[in-house]
Amino acid sequence: MASYAVVETGGKQYLVAKGDTLLVDRLSEAKEGDKVELRPVAFRDKQMVLGDDLAKAKVEAKVIGHERGPKLRIFKYRPKKGYRRRAGHRSELTRLEVTELKLLQRKPAGSGTKSATKKSSPKKKPAAKKEKKDGS
């Protein structure tokens, strides 16, 4: 069985496999030819990986280019009322090609949250300042 993953970008989820191309909402910080890492929501290789084990999953994609979607024309009309509104819209999109899809043996360094077993050092209270007594 070929491996695949469900990744999330731009608030949407996509089912991808190695070599797939997908059109996502514009990734403004990525330039053409850059590699971007996508956040996996689910991963399937030999077994299904979900939850905390997803930190081991790695999905990389290459930015092929930035595009604009088709022009959408919006026209509102109320008969016999003289009400007409016209608007348009073109989405800014980025085309990605999935280059790498693999499950690592262990979590990469620096990923995850702070360990619950580590004890934080107690905060020191600032020393109370003595006020000068003035005889006036």
Q: What pLDDT, in 10s, does the model give residues 70-94? A: 999 999 999 999 999 999 999 999 9
Token pair 């290789």 is at which residue?
45
DSSP 51: G
Assigned domain for 109 exists? no
Assigned domain for 62 exists? yes
Assigned domain for 112 exists? no
Assigned domain for 131 exists? no
pLDDT given at position 53? 78
Say yes or no to pLDDT of 37 above 80.
Answer: yes
Assigned domain for 134 exists? no
Assigned domain for 96 exists? yes
Domain that includes residue 53, residue range: 4-103
Rounded to an integer, what distance in angstroms lies between the CA atom of residue 115 and that of residue 107? 14
pTM of the model: 0.69
Assigned domain for 128 exists? no
Domain count, the chain: 1
Rounded to an integer, what distance in angstroms lies between the CA atom of residue 5 and that of residue 48? 10
Torsion of CA 76, 79, 82, 88, to 10 degrees: 10
Assigned domain for 110 exists? no
